[in-house]
Amino acid sequence: MKVSLLQLDITLADRARNSDLVRRRLAEAMAAGPDVVVLPELWDFGFYPKNALEFGDVGGEWSKEFLGGLARQYNVNLVGGSIINRDGDAIKNTSLVFDRTGNEIARYDKVHLFSPTRENERFRPGDRPVLFTLDGVRCGVVICYDIRFPEFIRRYALSGAEILFIPAAWPHPRSGHWRLLNIARAVENQFFVAAVNQCGPVGKTRFAGGSLLVDPWGEVLAEGGGDEAIVQADFDLNVIPDVRERIDVYRDRRPDIYGNPGPGTVGDASEL
């Protein structure tokens, strides 16, 4: 499965400019024939305007039409980063996922909100992991700060995820953490990670870029720098059973000692 990450320099509070950027970069990415294209966190308005509620896309309807239209136009699966999704008097940091026909097949609300920027005071958190299938491949999505919670990510692996998509707006001062955590999540869960980050300045914050595609051995297949880029690689999904046969952490787990954060066998999504 060929995956393309759109590492974008997002403009705060300017959806017209940002949507045009998505449209142009997606057209460029399609020259390589990707199966999946992934956008960064809050590509619509940036992370995030002080008056975010006013910018919220009610029910995600505008974004659904825009992103679904692009997926259908290019016959590509699209993990739509995340948007400011307005739900009544509340907003959520929401990722929308579309198949090749432009149908929305999954919707994930960011579970762990970043308290140092008061995201937890302005946004309503999600309450569950979300899995979906793209071209027959079991996938999951989380957003940015979520990757600091390995017990949450493990639920995806235990439920059969082979690829985890991670849109983010991760700042430059902690870029080392970004790279390290994404590689660690791939290794410990023995799946592929597709992590796309914003780049460039938004207000006083500079985002790190450094989008990366990681295999289950922790090998970085492709990686972006600090500027806008299209980062892409092929995921050989046949690697996963080989990795899990050589080092079967799922067989050797001891949930009787440290508790069970989710379903007990790979492929069992009963608790989701």
CA-based nearest residue to 216, from 165, 266, 163, 153: 163
Active site (annotated) includes residue 41 = yes
Active site (annotated) includes residue 144 = yes
Task: Write the DSSP string, 228-244.
Answer: -EEEEEE--TTHHHHHH
Distances (CA, A) of 2 to 135, 191, 222: 11, 15, 12
Catalytic residue among 92, 139, 144, 199: 144
Site of tokens 């505008």: 62
Catalytic residue among 41, 119, 162, 223: 41
Active site (annotated) includes residue 199 = no
Residues 198 and 169: beta-carbon distance below 8 Å: yes
CA dihedral over 29, 35, 41, 43, signed as positive or negative: positive
User: E strand or H helix at 199, and its extent?
Assistant: strand 199-202
CA-based nearest residue to 211, from 31, 79, 122: 79
Catalytic residue among 92, 110, 162, 223: 110
Show which residues are catalytic.
Answer: 41, 110, 144
